[in-house]
Amino acid sequence: MGFSSALQGRAAHEALIVRQDAELRLMETMKRSIQLKAKCDREYAIGLAAVAQQGLKTDRADEMQGSLITKAWRSYMDELDHQAKQFKSNAELLEVVCEKLTHLSQDKRKARKAYQEEHAKIAARLNHLTDEVVRKKGEYQKHLEGYKALRTRFEEHYIKSGRGGRKLDDVRDKYQKACRKLHLTHNEYVLSITEAVEVEKDFRTVLLPGLLEHQQSVQESFILLWKNILQETSQHGDLTSDKFKEIQKRIDNVINSINPSEEYREFTEKHKTSPTTPLVFQFDDALIEDIPGKLQSNTLTVDNLTVDWLRSRLIDLEMSVKECQEKQLKMIEQANGGSPIANGSITRNGSTASNGIQSPKDSQNRQSKDLNALRCQEKQKQKLVDMIKCALNEIGCEELPSGCDDHLEQNFIENSFNNDQQMSLSTNRPLYEEEWFHGVLPREEVVRLLNNDGDFLVRETIRNEESQIVLSVCWNGHKHFIVQTTVDGHFRFEGPPFPSIQELIMHQYQSELPVTVKSGAILRRAICRERWELSNDDVVLLEKIGRGNFGDVYKAKLKSTKQDVAVKTCRMTLPDEQKRKFLQEGRILKQYDHPNIVKLIGICVQKQPIMIVMELVPGGSLLNYLRKNSNSLTARQQMGMCRDAAAGMRYLESKNCIHRDLAARNCLVDFENSVKISDFGMSREEEEYIVSDGMKQIPVKWTAPEALNFGKYTSLCDVWSYGILMWEIFSKGDTPYSGMSNSRARERIDAGYRMPTPENTPPEMYRLMLKCWSAEADARPHFDEIYNVVDALIIRLDNSH
């Protein structure tokens, strides 16, 4: 079924126009995508060429002379360079494809215009004749009524006056004129109908079908050209093409040329040396020259000071010998029984390590090497066992000799007492001074710090308005143990109670006993506070300067540096979920360092209230600054503010951070009107973020349509918000969409409405705002492009002055 028979209706004609518009938009989308593909290929080519160049920088290449693997590597890098050139060539060819697509788009626009004009032309003729028939019919009715009225009048006068008289002649004359007009109108009406019938027939059977048939042919020819462009695009991105296959084949050939048995032939010949000279280890007699009689070189000393240590060491060594023997036996049994060793896996220190890239010969060699290592280890340990046994046997049942003089023994006792006293003092300091105590840090933040089994820390939590101390441990996941308090005020888990939490934790750590039998969790490594975890006592709050979503904002001073800072506090009554969201801003900010992003100094979680400490930006909120200084701000200063905000947002975009609440109220003003991005409470570190907890507290008038309609956030949503921020800056702090409710503003935006330019805004800056407010996210510029545009405008303005 073709256009000529199926698309004659008015609705079909309008649908065809809409389809052509959609195809033109698709062409534009394809063109942008192909341009981006060309850019990616070009950048990949540059990166690949850099890889090849780096790979060819072999330090001290003369030491690898004759190496087949070096030769293969260099050839591999050369082929990577060829790949880079091929990608660059593909990128250039894709740019040519883009030009073809541009020409095709232009031709298609012309064809659409020609079709619309021709359709309007032939439709206009039919419409004109249709109107003419209606008009003639109206005239016919008018003259018919006049004729009937004059005929009636003539008949009345004729009857009254007979056959003569001037009045009758006058009436007769008017009647005859009306009759003539009626007949003429009748003929014109008949002719217009006849003409309209022919025109309508030609329109329906010849002109419109012919136009549609021609349009179908034009459309299909465009599709053919479009298809060819897509095929070219595909060919220029085909990594399975012969060119890439040839490069890969050459890489495979040169790698296959590596022969392990030949690799070190030249190296071995060049560096051939004599066998290793034995190292001589012997006791330095000078060490015991000034010590009378008891200590002798190369001889164990057995006395009341050393006998227990020697017996303990003997037990350990005998166990080590036994373990070595068991491992050897196990390895031999596995090898004889087709064990995993023979298939490329090795048992080492009781664990199995996969080694699937090795051949059976490699596996056998490795097995032999490991067995030899175990035998050497057994022999070494046995030598020490024999030496200790021999020394102990010489004493027999005699009383052990004294190992030290009386005055030395007294010193030892005194030192032990002093050490005990020192240890007892260390457990009396406050818990919050311990480095492994993290205060009221929420559970979600704690989990981020505990990464390996045995990692642990202690924190405080509020449950049912009661403070509790919790031990958090990483052990097959994350486990949290509440410290139990006994009747007499001691602390415990499942084991014995202790008078302080520090002693309880020290006992669990040193004994290596599980915290609870069920959990099996053992404490291995205390996780200390991070450098940005400050003590609440380090911060002195001075004056309240604002209020946030979670609590009050204060100007404060750091005790250690006397530095003025800004402090956000979190209300103690908020649930843990809200406290987690509060700390999220600190977690995001701690890894950022940029002059246009407010700097984090630290967070205070040692006790309530939780606080985020940031640099104090003297100018305060950008929104308030704009309103206070509206009469003195220049266009140059406003453009500088836009550039600062773009620089900060460009940095965030490079870190995959979506701000989600960019507005003048959430920016701060530093010295010389410099702007810093602040308030990261809604931010997310993701390329794309889908809202899953509803759209509460969303700043509607600053938020992009796709985020409002679908809950989907990307950096391009921040670009929309940046456009609103620009408008706020140039309107000197006015409220966007003034006079409209959120819902009304949303309806108007979806219908295509955009705010007019603020007074005295440079035209180029308003055009940039409109680009930021493109309905399609992909049509908006990224922050890198925004920064470059604003920076170029400022440079041009400066040069003009």
Q: Give me the pLDDT at residue 669, please.
A: 95
Whether pLDDT at 354 is above 50? no
Given a cut of 70, whether residue 97 has pLDDT beyond it is yes
Same domain, 335 and 225: no
Mean of the pLDDT values across residues 289-316?
Answer: 76
Helices (H), 538-633: 576-589, 622-628
Whole-number pLDDT of residue 282: 76
b/e 587-604 (16+ beta carbons within 10 angstroms → b): bbbbebebebbbebbbbb
Q: What is the pLDDT of residue 422?
A: 34
**In-domain check, residue 250:** no
What pLDDT sits at residue 628? 94
Position 739 scores a pLDDT of: 92
Predicted pLDDT at 247: 85
365-to-93, 236, 372, 394, 520 alpha-carbon distances in Å: 54, 49, 11, 44, 39
Question: Quick one: average pLDDT of 551-567?
Answer: 90
β-strand pairing of 533-534 with 600-604: parallel
Q: Looking at the structure, do residues 514 and 653 belong to the same domain, yes or no?
A: no
Look at the block and give the residue holding tokens 């293969």. 72
The residue ranking higher by pLDDT, 560 or 179, is: 179
Task: Say how far apart CA 605 and CA 592 lie, in whole Å.
Answer: 21
* pLDDT of residue 606 exceeding 50: yes
| Same domain, yes or no: 516 and 550 | no
Helix 68-161 vs helix 242-256: angle between axes, to the nearest 10 degrees? 160
- Lowest-pLDDT range of 41-55, 136-150, 368-382: 368-382
Higher local confidence (pLDDT), 224 or 1: 224
Span 253-269, mean pLDDT?
79
pLDDT at 464: 64
Rounded Cα gap, residues 664 and 632, in angstroms = 18
pLDDT at 420: 35
Active site residues: 661
**Does 362 map to a domain?**
yes
Residue 403 covered by a domain? no
Which has more pLDDT, 318 or 427? Answer: 318
Work out the pLDDT band at 697, boundaries 50, 70, 90: low
pLDDT category, 125, cuts 50, 70, 90? confident
Residues 476 and 333 in one domain: no
The pLDDT-based confidence of 347 (bands split at 50, 70, 90) is: very low
Q: Is 552 annotated as a binding residue?
A: yes
Q: Residue 482: inside a domain, yes or no?
A: yes
More reliable by pLDDT, 277 or 347: 277
- CATH code assigned at 607: 3.30.200.20
* Percent of the chain at pLDDT exceeding 90: 39
Where does the pLDDT of residue 569 fall: very low under 50, low under 70, confident under 90, or very high at 90 and above? very high
pLDDT at 407 over 50: no
484 and 600 in a single domain? The answer is no
User: Is there a single domain that holds both residue 594 and residue 731?
Assistant: no
**At which of 567, 597, 615 does a domain end?**
615
Residue 553 annotated as part of some ligand binding site? yes
Q: Is residue 495 part of a domain?
A: yes
User: Looking at the structure, do residues 85 and 224 belong to the same domain, yes or no?
Assistant: yes
Query: Is there a binding annotation on residue 545?
Result: yes
Q: Which of 579, 598, 615 marks a domain boundary?
A: 615
Residue type, 169: D
Phi, psi of 793 (to 5 degrees): -65, -40
Confidence of residue 512 (pLDDT cuts 50, 70, 90): very high
CATH number of the domain enclosing 643: 1.10.510.10
User: Residue 59: its pLDDT value, please?
Assistant: 62
Tell me, what's the pLDDT at 163?
58
Higher pLDDT, 367 or 518: 518
CB burial class (10 A; 0-12, 13-18, 19+) of residue 641?
buried
Domain housing 744? 622-800
At which residue do the structure tokens 């780096």 appear? 54
The answer to whether residues 587 and 638 belong to one domain is: no
The residue type of 567 is V
Question: Which band of pLDDT confidence, cut at 50, 70 and 90, is reported for residue 250?
Answer: confident
Q: Identify the H or E element spanning 417.
A: helix 406-426
pLDDT tens digits, 371-394: 888 888 888 889 888 888 887 765
Please give the pLDDT value at position 478: 93
Is 568 annotated among the ligand-binding residues? yes
Residue 340: is its pLDDT beyond 90?
Answer: no
**In this structure, how many other beta carbons lie within 10 angstroms of the beta carbon of residue 195?**
13
As for how many domains the chain has, the answer is 5
- Same domain for 473 and 540, yes or no, is no
Task: Give the pLDDT band (50/70/90) at residue 423.
Answer: very low
CA 702-707-710 angle, 5° bins:
150
Which of 615, 643, 670 is the last residue before a domain boundary? 615
User: Mean per-residue pLDDT for 197-222?
Assistant: 88
Q: Could you say which DSSP state residue 434 is in?
A: S
Closest to 781 in 3D by CA, of 679, 653, 607: 653
More reliable by pLDDT, 471 or 587: 471
> Which pLDDT does position 409 carry in this prediction?
35
What is the tens place of the pLDDT at every residue in 670-689?
A: 988 899 998 876 655 545 54
pLDDT, residue 545, reads 87
What value does the mean pLDDT take over residues 572-598?
A: 82
350 annotated to a ligand binding site: no
**pLDDT score at 135:** 93
Q: Is 170 annotated as a binding residue?
A: no
pLDDT of 644 reads 96
459-486 mean pLDDT: 88
Look over the chain and give the mean of its residue pLDDT values, rounded to a whole number: 83
Span 450-470, average pLDDT: 87
Q: What is the mean pLDDT of residues 577-582?
A: 78
Confidence category of residue 762, pLDDT binned at 50, 70, 90: very high
What is the crossing angle of helices 715-730 and 783-800, to 10°? 30
Alpha helices in 257-405 (DSSP H): 260-263, 265-270, 307-336, 360-395
| 609 and 724 inside one domain | no
Rg from Cα positions in the chain: 46
Is 662's pLDDT higher than 80?
yes
Residue 290: the pLDDT is 66
Which pLDDT belongs to residue 574?
80
410 pLDDT band (50/70/90 cuts)? very low
Q: What is the CATH number of the domain that holds 230?
A: 1.20.1270.60
Please check whether residues 513 and 544 belong to one and the same domain: no
Helix or strand (DSSP H, E) at 547: strand 539-547
Tens digit of each residue's pLDDT (9 = 90 or more) over 464-476: 667 889 999 999 9
Q: Residue 746 pLDDT > 70, yes or no?
A: yes
Residue 301's pLDDT is what?
81
Whether residue 419 lies inside any domain: the answer is: no
191 occurs within a structural domain = yes
Q: What's the pLDDT score for residue 763?
A: 95
- The answer to whether position 290 is within a domain reads no
The reply to whether 129 and 157 lie within a common domain is: yes
